[in-house]
Amino acid sequence: MLEVRREAHAKVNLFLRVLGRREDGYHDIESLIVPLSLHDTVVCREAGGLSLNVEGSDPSLPSDSGNLALVAALALSERAGVLKGADIDLVKRIPVAAGLGGGSADAAAVLVALNELWKCGLSEEALMEVGADVGSDVPAILADRPVLVSGRGERLRAVGVPGLHWVIVPSALQVRTPDAFSWWDEDGCSSGPDPGWFVEALASGDLASVRDGFSNDLEVPVFARYPELEEVKRLLLDHGALGAIMCGSGPTMAGVFTDPDAAAGASRDIGESIVAISRGAA
Ligand code: C5P
């Protein structure tokens, strides 16, 4: 085998609850994460050394050791004790530093592709352990299905969620993930309510009752600094979204729709937005 190609799917959080800061500086969270159809593409080819070539939406994205795709490749080679190289081509479509898990998705796709190309033979569980060291969202993205996550993102439970239609509204603002979490600490923010009912309603496909469940505890500190993002949320709800939520630590906002035509119409009216789907899982 000389080449392995993988899609690297973005994610959205249907809810994100921040439970508190831990001794190691991370925060314990609880979140429901689903993969989106929006994806980057990763192609790995056998080579003498390790190199990364990035093409696509954001020319500012690093192609050096700061890129999670390369961090993942190095972490895999160390864990599997493999001394092989690869040329990695990455075609970016997922907005960068947007809260959509783009970097983590690229890392997850590289782990799966190189595990195959290099014949490492690591199990999915072992890949998730390697992925958790690369980034907190990597295990959930590796699962490639709706999962309830806890810990700092490394503990997963598969859950049922119906297929949904999304209008993704990227932003030119920059919000760094560590900043969003430390603003939550600084502002003395609280954790959202127990989302058990929301998880159950989604699992039973009861979309009529889930409207109030879409929530993200990082919205309070991020909206306090960037009130224009709350306006985007309002805009999505005014265009008929069932729920509208900030993606991860932001600044992208996402509106959820049950009807593809309603999503397409909202996206057209709002402008500068991406239509995507999250496929259902039992
Ligand atoms: O794991 P990742 O590298 O994506 O995390 C980036 C930063 O976001 C961490 O260094 C930490 O400051 C913050 N973070 C957190 N709690 C999490 C995930 C991330 O505080 N559960």
Q: Is 181 in the pocket of ligand 1 (CB under 6 A)?
A: yes
CATH number for region 165-277: 3.30.70.890
Q: Is 136 in the pocket of ligand 1 (CB under 6 A)?
A: yes
- Which residue out of 152, 191, 216 has the highest number of ligand 1 atoms within 8 Å of its CB and is therefore the one to mutate? 152
Q: Is 279 in the pocket of ligand 1 (CB under 6 A)?
A: no
Atom 3, ligand 1: which residue's CA is nearest? Answer: 135
DSSP state of 235: H
Residue 59 has pLDDT above 70, yes or no: no
CATH of 3-158, one of 3.30.230.10, 3.30.9.10, 2.60.120.560, 3.40.50.150: 3.30.230.10
38-69 CB burial, b ≥16 within 10 A, e <16: bbbbbbbbeeeebebebeebeeebebeeebbb
pLDDT band at 208 (very low <50, low <70, confident <90, very high): confident
Q: What is the pLDDT of residue 9?
A: 98
Which residue type, as a one-letter code, is found at position 31? S
Q: What is the pLDDT of residue 33?
A: 98
Task: Give ranges for CATH 3.30.230.10 in the chain.
Answer: 3-158
Residue 245: which residues within 8 A CB-CB, separation 6 or more?
12, 13, 14, 15, 214, 215, 216, 219, 233, 253, 254, 256
As a whole number of angstroms, the distance between CA 26 and CA 189 comes to 16
Atom of ligand 1 nearest to the CA of 177: 8
Query: Once rounded to an integer, what is the mean pLDDT over residues 204-219?
Result: 94
Q: Is 20 in the pocket of ligand 1 (CB under 6 A)?
A: no
Task: Give ranges for CATH 3.30.70.890 in the chain.
Answer: 165-277
Atom of ligand 1 nearest to the CA of 104: 4
Residue 63 has pLDDT above 80, yes or no: no
Task: Tell me the per-residue pLDDT of 242-266, one tens digit each, with 9 for 90 and over.
Answer: 999 999 999 999 999 999 999 999 9
Residue 3: name the closest of 42, 54, 55, 49 by CA: 42
Contact 13, 177 (CB under 8 A): no
pLDDT band at 56 (very low <50, low <70, confident <90, very high): confident
First to last CA, the chain: 34
Atom 12, ligand 1: which residue's CA is nearest? Answer: 178
Q: What is the pLDDT of residue 1?
A: 63
As a whole number of angstroms, the distance between CA 255 and CA 260 comes to 12
Question: DSSP letter string over 85-135?
Answer: EEEEEEEE-SPTTSSS-HHHHHHHHHHHHHHHHTT----HHHHHHHHHHH-
Query: Once rounded to an integer, what is the mean pLDDT over residues 204-224?
Result: 95
Atom 4, ligand 1: which residue's CA is nearest? Answer: 135
Percentage above 70 pLDDT, the chain: 99
Give catalytic residue positions. Answer: 11, 137
Residue 43: which residues within 8 A CB-CB, separation 6 or more?
3, 4, 5, 88, 89, 113
Task: Tell me the per-residue pLDDT of 80-112, one tens digit each, with 9 for 90 and over.
Answer: 999 899 999 999 999 999 999 999 999 999 999
Contact 72, 142 (CB under 8 A): no
Question: What is the pLDDT of the chain when averaged over all its residues?
Answer: 96
Residue whose structure tokens are 């429901």 = 32
Residue 218: name the closest of 246, 252, 253, 186 by CA: 246
